[in-house]
Chain A
Amino acid sequence: MKRCLVLIAVLVSSAVFAAEQPPRQVAPATVTMQFPEAFGEMQRPAVEFDHKAHTEALEAEGCEACHRIDDKGVLIPLLKSGLEIDNRDDLIDAFHDSCMGCHRERLEETLPAGPMTCGECHVRRQPGVSVRAEMAFDYSLHARHAKAFEDKCENCHHVYDEGTEELKYEKGKEEGCRSCHGAVDEERKLSLANASHRACISCHLRRIRSELESGPMLCAGCHDLKQRNAIERLEDVPRLVRGQADTIWIHGIDAKTATVAFNHLAHEPVTGSCSTCHHQTLKPCDECHTFAGSPEGAGVTMAQAYHRSSSEHSCVGCHAMETARQQCAGCHQVTSQSPADRTCVLCHNGPPPGSSALETAPTAVDPRLDPLPIPSDDYPETAVIEALVDTYEASKLPHAKIVGKLDEMVRESRLAGRFHVDTETLCRGCHHHSPIGTRPPPCRACHSEEADSTRDFPALKVAYHRQCIGCHIVMNIEKQGCTDCHAERSGAEEVQP
């Protein structure tokens, strides 16, 4: 009997430990030491190296305890012993010698040290979820760095000269790091992580040691979401000048349609950084996204690059995302999903390809919007909707007020103004699927009171409510309840208390 009790106790306690736990978060400063795939499967789980713990423990010794600073003053972000070893066993030995060697030394000096046994570093854990935030440069951060370097771009920017096999600076060819540095090391071309760590941290370290104002040196300073968002931002960010024109004609090589006048200057303030549009390189879009598509452009053709509505890098895509804003969503999200066909000419209104007019840059033009009409029979101040009066009184729609508000919001946005040149566009949000003219048809002209069960077409009551309430919801307008729009009829059948 006693044996049974022991067995039960063991089972119960092991089950308690095996009980489901919430997913494990891996801190930004924890480096999972994953060996290259070429080295095959490892016997033990990857070590999760707590960099933060080590920097805190070795504060006195500084970074040089593990890293080395080369003759150019660059902090090499790899274990000083582990660099350039391409042999699996040698690499393992190198790490073991470094880590356990250091721990052993410290233990001999009776200092607090890390583990010495296999299982304490190679801990078998549930897969964790990394909370490391990606670091990105925006205009503000770039401007602050530019100021610190007194606009001397060569301090950070370089290109690789194939001939001399060296890095050098070329004015006018400055790019974002991502244009060359990819996800993994490729022989001498370092990964983005390695390259940026070497460039950024070395410099920050130098400045900190010289007691100058500097960026973060520890992992969390850039990769912890809260700390990253707390980085100081400039109020007025100066324009990032790299020789770009204010306005240009977009005329892709081999493109057939009329060219597009593009106001580059106007677009700069609405992006966070150049890479919002120039997502890979600062070269013009059609250099990689050729007419028929190319490997450099990942097969994305020129037309797709400019027009794909699901991509934030394309013109149409970004504009579509803007229509999801609260001020725009009522018409754009509820009624129409895709741009109407007639909007092509709003952009493609430049000279045809090959024209000599393309040699002069286009003139920037501010949107000029017609004023709204004066209220009349055709454009009523208030529209009384008397159809379907039953439980509620007729609804008094403040027609002119609504259109006036829409007009006000359009005028506030340069983008909206560019596309809403015609006041008719304001009508089309509600008076959809029909020509506008001087007096658009009323809802009941198409939506009958009786439901048409042969097709997916709302009856009049549904049409009214879906249109109005749908718009109010996405625009966060408070009037969403029944009596907000139509008063209850006294003496009507009591449906609710």
Chain B
Amino acid sequence: MSISRRGFLGGIGASALAAGSVEAEPHTEHSYFKVPDERYGLLHDTTLCVGCRSCEAGCKDVNELPGIEQPIGDMTVFDRERRTSDTELTVVNRYRVDDVDVFRKHQCMHCNEPSCASVCLVKALVKSPEGPVLYDPDVCVGCRYCMMTCPYYALAYEYESPNPRVMRCTMCYERIIEGKVPGCAEACPMGAITFGKRSDLLVLARDRIAKHPGRYVEHVFGEYEFGGTSWLLLTGTPIGNLGLGSLENVSHTPLPELTKSFLSVVPLVLTMWPGLLLGFYAFTKRRNEVSEEEARARVVEALMQADEETKMKLASAAERAGNDKERAIAQAVKKALEEQAAKEGSDE
């Protein structure tokens, strides 16, 4: 095809523009490691939880959600493992460990480096400096990528609504910035949920472990897992027994780090590919040109050769023609002479 120089440059310009605009290397977009640890958190001591579900009631109260379906005190609710839903931002589940019932409250863990916030393409989920991960339904497109990535299965969606939102624990953000305590922590009669500064809670958790040897597993879950979470757990049994089996012994690397290797490839492709592909095109074009030239040269040569042969043929034909003509003349002369002789002979 023939392209004008203008068109070519236009095409390249467009790709360069795209390269510049989609320079998507995120420089620690959501890394808050440098922020002083003034963030809030919550400590959940599962050895104190008795499964009364006052936290669920408190949460529904504060968030003005429809009331709990199964009343507190009805233990049949624990017969199946529940997860959070669009009307239940937190649930308590019962686990049978060594013939003893252990309860654990589950909700959004408000990770330090949340994968949900990292994957949100419209920044509907952001990690606030106060600690909670906040959600803005007004910009959310409802792609549910956040739900895909949450390793705690903490997010839920309003599938039945034509204008659906992602529903999750908000750590009662409006309350905590007023100096109040999240609804669940306030409701819990056993003090299984403690609200405070995350750094303080870590100290408190370690203290409790030291004060009650044998009562706890010597590990504060959420301190480092996938970069750490704002909800910390103290348990008397490994968390694999409490429904968090897939989170046992996970890496301390925050999940968003796992995408950085790919995202760093993006600018590389954007800068290398144009040159590479143009190179292919140029080589191809050059190769085509070269082969065309060779073809032309062969044609010329062939023509020239044909030319020579023709000349020779003409020459020999001419010669033959010339010879023929001489013979014809000689014959005609001979004939004429014979006729003449014959005529003279008959006269005598």
Contact = CB atoms under 8 A, between A and B. Distances in A.
B208 A497 contact: no
B182 to A, nearest CB: 13
Interface in A457-497: 458-459, 461-466, 469-470, 473, 480-483, 493-497
Contacts of B69: 497
Contacts of B162: none
B61 A495 contact: yes
A453 interface: yes
A497 B53 CA distance: 13
B67 A496 contact: yes
Contacts of A458: 191
A456, A483, A497 pick with most chain B CB within 10 angstroms: A456
Contact of B73 (A453, A469, A483): A483
A87 interface: no
B270 interface: no
A459 B73 CA distance: 23
Contacts of A497: 67-69, 71
B57 to A, nearest CB: 5
Contacts of A483: 73
A413 to B, nearest CB: 24
Given A453-B196, A496-B72, A465 B190 contact: yes
B184 interface: no
Interface in B170-187: 181
A456 B207 contact: yes
A337 interface: yes
A462 B50 contact: no
Contacts, number: 55
A338 to B, nearest CB: 10
Nearest to A495: B57
Contacts of A470: 48, 190
Given A465-B189, A495-B61, A496-B67, 13 more contacts: A451-B181, A456-B194, A456-B208, A461-B189, A462-B189, A462-B190, A466-B48, A480-B50, A481-B72, A494-B67, A495-B57, A496-B68, A497-B68
B52 interface: yes
B212 interface: yes
B317 interface: no
B89 interface: no
A462 B192 CA distance: 9
A493 B54 CA distance: 14
30 contacts: A337-B212, A451-B181, A456-B194, A456-B207, A458-B191, A461-B189, A462-B188, A462-B189, A463-B191, A464-B189, A465-B189, A465-B190, A466-B48, A466-B190, A469-B50, A469-B190, A470-B48, A470-B190, A481-B52, A481-B73, A482-B73, A483-B73, A493-B61, A495-B57, A495-B61, A495-B67, A496-B57, A497-B68, A497-B69, A497-B71
Interface of B: 48, 50, 52, 54, 57-58, 61, 67-69, 71-73, 181, 188-191, 194-196, 200, 204, 207-208, 212
A462 B194 CA distance: 11
Nearest to B181: A451
A482 B72 contact: yes
Nearest to A467: B190
Contacts of B71: 496-497
Nearest to A483: B73
A455 B195 CA distance: 12
A483 B72 CA distance: 10
B99 to A, nearest CB: 12
A466 B71 CA distance: 21
Contact of A482 (B52, B188, B195, B208): B52
A456 B204 contact: yes
Nearest to B47: A470
Contact of B191 (A459, A473, A494, A495): A459
A316 to B, nearest CB: 15
Contacts of B72: 481-482, 496
A470 B48 CA distance: 8
Contacts of B200: 453
A100 B195 CA distance: 72
A50 to B, nearest CB: 33
Nearest to B51: A480
Contacts of A493: 61
B73 to A, nearest CB: 4
B51 to A, nearest CB: 9
A473 B50 contact: yes
B203 to A, nearest CB: 9
A458 B57 CA distance: 21
B221 to A, nearest CB: 18
A463 B67 CA distance: 27
A288 B191 CA distance: 47
A466 B190 CA distance: 5
Contacts of A459: 191
A461 B58 CA distance: 15
Nearest to A454: B200
Contacts of A465: 189-191
A208 B208 CA distance: 60
B199 to A, nearest CB: 13
Contacts of B207: 456
A198 B207 CA distance: 54
Interface in A408-464: 451, 453, 456, 458-459, 461-464
A312 to B, nearest CB: 14
Nearest to A457: B191
A453, A464, A493 pick with most chain B CB within 10 angstroms: A453
A336 to B, nearest CB: 11
